[in-house]
Amino acid sequence: MTKKMQSKLTFIMGPPRSGTTAITRLLMSHRDVLLADAPTLGTALPDAPTYYESGIFVRDVPDEEILARFKLLDGNAPFIVEKTPSHIEQIERIRRLFPEALLIVTHREPVGCLRSWKVANRTFINSSQAFHQACKTWRSATRIAIENLGKPDVLPIDFAEFMTNPSVAGRIIFDRIGLSTDQLDHCLGAMNGAETERLKEVVGETVRGGNTRLNLAEKLQIAFFCRQTEAEWIAEYESMEGLAN
């Protein structure tokens, strides 16, 4: 049985490299927001840096302990934000434990997303995950996102729309969460500022892909694993009239 919290919770999730970090940096710069990252929730791994994620739902943490850890943060700020891309696989568990939470679900088209993954994998993920596995991860997360489009607790954010006009997207996000928009310009500046980077000189390149290119085999893997799912996302998302809805 969950107990209603004083602070309003927002969980940010989606495929890796789909904009979850940018949205987190935007929100954490607001005076009324507390970021529930790994150090705050007690899930930091020894000698491992954290990039805003807590990973609490994919660690070996039972439901009662998760509730207890969030309860310790309750009331410390009007709004609490947690960000872990892979938590999209735990979306029903999050709903069950925190039924009043807002779920921000991000999406990024697969070519840009997987180019960014290559940059991140080379620079700081230090993962042995193969490219085809990364494609499968994108597909799995996107299919879950599609299944949840239109649900009242979900705010879908398309990476391209967000990066093209972050002030409009930011206002929509702030309004949906309940944040005062008088700090929006400050938060947009902080989102792009070096002072909020936890890994220097990486964010910009992973957003744009830098000089990273996909080879023919990788393009074929994206076509095989991701093309149909991307078409399904576009159809469902456009039926909602996009972010403006």
Average pLDDT, rounded, for the chain: 89
Tally Cβ neighbours within 10 Å of residue 46: 4
For residues 201 and 27, the model is more confident at 27
Span 45-99, pLDDT tens digits = 887 777 799 999 999 999 999 999 999 999 999 999 999 999 999 999 999 999 9
In a domain, 30, yes or no: yes
Residue among 15, 23, 241, 27 at smallest CA distance from 150: 241
Element (H, E) at 107: strand 102-107
**Whole-number pLDDT of residue 48:** 73
| Joined tokens for residue 78 | 């009007």
In a domain, 210, yes or no: yes
For residues 58 and 201, the model is more confident at 58
For residues 58 and 195, the model is more confident at 58
In a domain, 2, yes or no: no
Q: How many domains does the chain have?
A: 1
In terms of residue numbers, what domain contains 227? 8-239
Tell me which amino acid residue 10 is: T
CA distance 79 to 59: 23
Span 132-160, pLDDT tens digits = 999 999 999 999 999 999 999 999 999 99
In a domain, 244, yes or no: no
pLDDT classification of 201: cutoffs 50, 70, 90: very low
Angle between helices 184-192 and 166-177 (to 10 degrees): 120
**Whole-number pLDDT of residue 213:** 85
**Whole-number pLDDT of residue 124:** 57
In a domain, 48, yes or no: yes
For residues 67 and 244, the model is more confident at 67
CA distance 43 to 61: 9
